[in-house]
Structure 1
């Protein structure tokens, strides 16, 4: 699933008639790296927007949209559950849904369990 930032850079590619590989080549990275950024599997590099700005001569509105999308995307986490068993997948999804309901003390206890203390 594309992140908000991924949607914005895909829109840029389409508007500039660029394929994923073309954009990646122009940025000096692989197409799989750009795809991973689009899908939230890799963090967005600090200089990525400025590199896009130079590449596509972006307007201030386009830059603002990219920056907003980057902020929104940073608040979301994608978890690849391929290879986990059913119970693990259920636990990961349940935890994600209920994250806001844990108290600080409960979060500390969960962290102790995870860290093995």
Structure 2
């Protein structure tokens, strides 16, 4: 089953008149790997976001659409805790545990708290 990311990539390919092999070549992967990413069987390499934005000259709206598709297609998020203090690691685990229990108001407050300047 296609993920949101897969739908975005397929549409992008079709809009550019490309077949899967052409996009896979541009991304320096096999067609089967690209297909697995589209179908949610493989995780998209982090470098693809910038690569796709640059290769296909995506405007701000399409960049946002791509990021949303990536976020909606992810089943998990990997965070490197290697260089964090014990205190920061515990905070990360606590936050992850509480995420499921947060109501909309709490989520909105966290979004404001973490929002970067200019966004």
TM-score tier, shorter chain, comes to: 0.5 to 0.7
| Cα root mean square deviation, aligned | 1.5
The equivalent residue for 1:12 is 12
Task: State the match for 1:50 in structure 2.
Answer: 50
User: In structure 2, the residue corresponding to 1:46 is in which secondary structure?
Assistant: coil
Q: Specify every segment of 5 or more residues in structure 2 that has no aligned partner in the other structure, as ranges.
A: 77-99, 101-119
User: Following superposition of structure 1 onto structure 2, how do residues 1-117 of structure 1 map, counting pairs within 5 Å?
Assistant: 1-75=1-75
What is the number of equivalent residue pairs in this alignment?
77
How far apart, CA to CA, are the structure 1 residues paired with 2:47 and 2:60?
16
Aligned to 1:109: none
Q: Deviations over 1:79-102 (max 9, x none)?
A: xxxxxxxxxxxxxxxxxxxxx9xx
Q: Report how far residue 26 of structure 1 moved.
A: 1.3
Deviations 1:63-82 (A, max 9, x none): 10010011111148xxxxxx
TM-score under structure 2 length normalisation: 0.61
The offset of 1:49, in angstroms, is: 1.3
Q: Quote the Cα distance in structure 2 between the aligned partners of 1:8 and 1:52.
A: 11
